Structure 1
Amino acid sequence: MVEEKGEGIFVIPLSRVYWGGSRRSRGRRAIKLIRDFVARHFGARRVILDESVNEYILYRKIEKPPRKIIVKVFKIDEGIYKATLASLVKVSK
């Protein structure tokens, strides 16, 4: 029997978004990579990203996302998961 995962904390490497493609699309690719990572590890149909994840990725502009991110993923409903920023990082300019 397969046991269903309910929640977890993951370190997601985002260094792959720096490979190929334009510099301006790195932020979008980072968001997509996080969604795909959560969907692959939890079997999610839909992944909701918290606003803190988006702010953390874009706080150095769209061209320079962080190299890795720590997210906490938890289940909201059947097949729907939400990812939030696990470590409290102060994002200010």
Structure 2
Amino acid sequence: MAISDGEYVFQHKFAEHPNMSSIQLNVIVKGVLVTVINADDDAIFPLGIIDHGELFWHKGSGQWIIVYSPEDKDAKDVGGCSAGPSVIDLKGKVYWTC
């Protein structure tokens, strides 16, 4: 796994505006499960859990994604403004959305 179990602070970034400032998110990793929590500001997401699922290395995009079903593992498009699973950069500690 690219990240050890624990609690981390990640930065939220918009795929269409990656240099735009956004909020910080609390991320809890336990095994292959990840939970993304907004405890910062409710202007972008509601406060509380905003994402939860299984961490999975998506070979097609070369990125870590959060999957909710087996079909997500084979998604053609991921992250950004696609209809696919969310992308989470474990090394850079960034949670990406549209």
Q: TM-score, normalised by structure 2?
A: 0.31
| Structure 1 or 2: more strand by fraction | 2
Whose RCO is larger (CA < 8 A, sep 6+)?
1
**Larger radius of gyration between Structure 1 and Structure 2:** 1
Q: Which has the higher helix share?
A: 1
Give the TM-score normalised by the residue count of structure 1. 0.32
